[in-house]
Chains A and B, each alone.
Chain A
Amino acid sequence: MNALLAADLPYWVQSLLRVLGGLVAVLLPAGTIVYLFLFKMMSFMQSRLGPMEAGPYGSMQLFAEVGKWLQKEDITPARADRTIFKIAPLVVLASTFLLVAVVPFGPDAWFTNFEAGVFYMLAVSSVSVLGILIAGWSSANKYSLLGGLRAAGQLIAYELPMVLAVIGVIIQAGTMNLQGIVVAQNGGEIFGWNGLGNPYILTQFTGFIIFMIAVQAELTQTPFDMPIAESELVSGYMTEYSGFRFLTFFIAEFATAGVFSLIASVLFLGGWGVPFAWFDWKSIDDISDWMNVVGPLIMFTKMMVLAFVIMWVRFSYPRFREDQLQRFAWKVLIPISLVNIMITAILKVAF
């Protein structure tokens, strides 16, 4: 049980702490990703400076942006389906928070410890597309409608490779509990050598690549950004949104990028753990309490590395065409991931 929190705190204090932790776990990565990668890294890649005025090197730009968007008029088109139109950004943001609830940050620093955490993660990750779909539909705009439908088609195509890529990890770990997957990686060994543990990026490299491609598609980041293709659809499902509701979509997009990076680091990079052999830990009960402080920092580092990769791809590649997208998912990713499952299973039984 949660040694740090559960010892003598009443339930409502625990819940409050968890919720505050969740807020930090969503907003801190989102802010860091937007400032470091979207503002600064993109600018440097395009030979410009990016925001420089607000604070040193423009580091206060985020607060300026929020202040600016708060003052913008919130326009609901006369023809739109008003209630649904207003709810849609909240659905997208809520899905991000539901997703972060399952990520473990340390031996005792977790929000929920579901036995079927991977199931929960896969189920909740598609809620945001529901929000995007109703946003596109309720706007009563042709661009929005097309954007929403494209988003749904993309989800259908890329949900499967993601699910199938995760199965390889589960075969290796033998559990669907995310905490268990972290322990299995750090307590594992490669051919009897346990100096690195067994991060599944080494043994499940195919799965990792497929998972990251699917994440890119679920986030509608650039090679897969047909739902908001600005040269074809203005801004797709966000066309009619203005003011703070638009910003809510924006925050949710980058917060979800952060949360997916966290989940990918749990599944493939060893999560919060360090290889247990370094400190002679045998199981999760031996782990020292200081890992609850160091663990989140390790997670944050891995999250930044993966988010960097996501953004790097985003700034480097041109957009797919819609038929290329579907062909790539069904004729390349799904067969490869099915073969990957079988090879993993054969090797698991053989060794």
Chain B
Amino acid sequence: MQGEKLGVVGSPVVASWAMSEFLRSYLVVFWFGLIALLLASLLLGISVLIRPSNPTREKLLTYESGVDPVGEGWSQSQIRYYVFALLFVVFDVEAVFIFPWATQLERYAGFGLVEMGVFVGVLLLGLVYAWRKGVLRWV
């Protein structure tokens, strides 16, 4: 791959070239997002031309099993997974730390293994604590 030249030469010209190569691969991501929007817009545009548009008051009512809607649609609901959300953030951040370690495990060998054993052990302890506290129930 061309990007490897960065480590060999390291001159600013090559560096900027490698940088643009890096950004270009993310430009592909942008194109892909754009084509998704274009495809959907194209089909929706065709649809606008051939579909009927005949809104009536009843049609625009919020659907609620055939009866007139009661109260606001944006009703307050109990957010049961508040604790789950907190736990999720904790575990997700920990997972981000595990990834770089996983790619370099061959180099770290036994030392890295012990380190990660402690890390995952603490993580598991946290889960066990939450479990014992009874927050892993969907009440």
Interface residues in chain A, defined as those with a beta carbon under 8 Å from any beta carbon in chain B: 1, 11, 15, 18-19, 22-23, 69-80, 89-90, 93-94, 96-98, 100-101, 111-114, 118-119, 137, 139-146, 149, 152-153, 156-157, 159-160, 163-164, 167, 170-171, 174-176, 234, 239-240, 243-245, 248, 322-323, 326-327, 330-331, 334-335, 338, 341-342, 345-346, 348-349
Contacts and interface: CB of A to CB of B under 8 A. Distances in A.
B106 interface: yes
A90 B106 contact: no
26 contacts: A69-B47, A71-B52, A73-B52, A73-B53, A74-B53, A75-B59, A77-B60, A93-B39, A97-B32, A98-B32, A112-B26, A114-B25, A139-B62, A140-B74, A143-B64, A145-B77, A153-B81, A153-B84, A156-B84, A170-B103, A174-B106, A327-B136, A330-B127, A334-B127, A341-B98, A349-B112
Contact of B47 (A11, A70, A137, A335): A70
A197 to B, nearest CB: 19
A100 B127 contact: no
B37 A94 contact: yes
Interface of B: 1-2, 24-29, 31-33, 35-37, 39-41, 43-44, 46-48, 50-55, 57, 59-65, 69, 72-75, 77, 79-81, 84-85, 87-88, 91-92, 95, 98-99, 102-106, 109-110, 112-113, 116-117, 120, 123-124, 127, 131, 136-138
Contacts of B28: 15, 18, 101, 111-112
Contacts of B106: 174, 348
Contacts of A79: 62, 73
Given A75-B55, A160-B88, A163-B95, A94 B47 contact: no
B116 A234 contact: no
B80 A71 contact: no
Nearest to B57: A78
* Shortest 6 CB-CB contacts between residues of A and residues of B: A140-B73, A323-B138, A97-B36, A78-B60, A94-B36, A170-B102
Given A145-B74, A156-B85, A176 B99 contact: yes
Contacts of B81: 152-153, 156-157, 326
A338 B74 CA distance: 38
B33 A94 contact: yes
B1 to A, nearest CB: 6
Given A78-B60, A97-B32, A101-B28, 10 more contacts: A75-B60, A89-B40, A93-B39, A111-B28, A163-B92, A167-B102, A174-B105, A176-B99, A338-B123, A341-B98
A239 B51 contact: no
Contacts of B25: 112-114
A243 B65 CA distance: 19
Contact of A73 (B54, B65, B98, B116): B54
- Most B CB contacts (10 A, CB to CB) among A114, A137, A142, A170 go to A142
Contacts of A94: 33, 36-37
A70 B46 contact: yes
A322 B84 CA distance: 13
Contacts of A75: 55, 59-60
A323 B134 CA distance: 13
Contacts of B116: 342, 345
Contact of B39 (A23, A70, A338): A23
Contact of A326 (B48, B79, B138): B138
B109 A349 contact: yes
Given A94-B37, A112-B25, A113-B25, A77 B32 contact: no
Contacts of A77: 60-63
Contact of B31 (A15, A139, A141): A15
Contacts of B113: 345-346, 349
A118 B104 CA distance: 15
Given A113-B25, A153-B80, A156-B84, A97 B105 contact: no
Nearest to A78: B60
A170 B53 CA distance: 52
A7 to B, nearest CB: 13
A344 to B, nearest CB: 9
A100 B110 CA distance: 37
Contact of A19 (B32, B48, B138): B32
Contacts of B2: 1
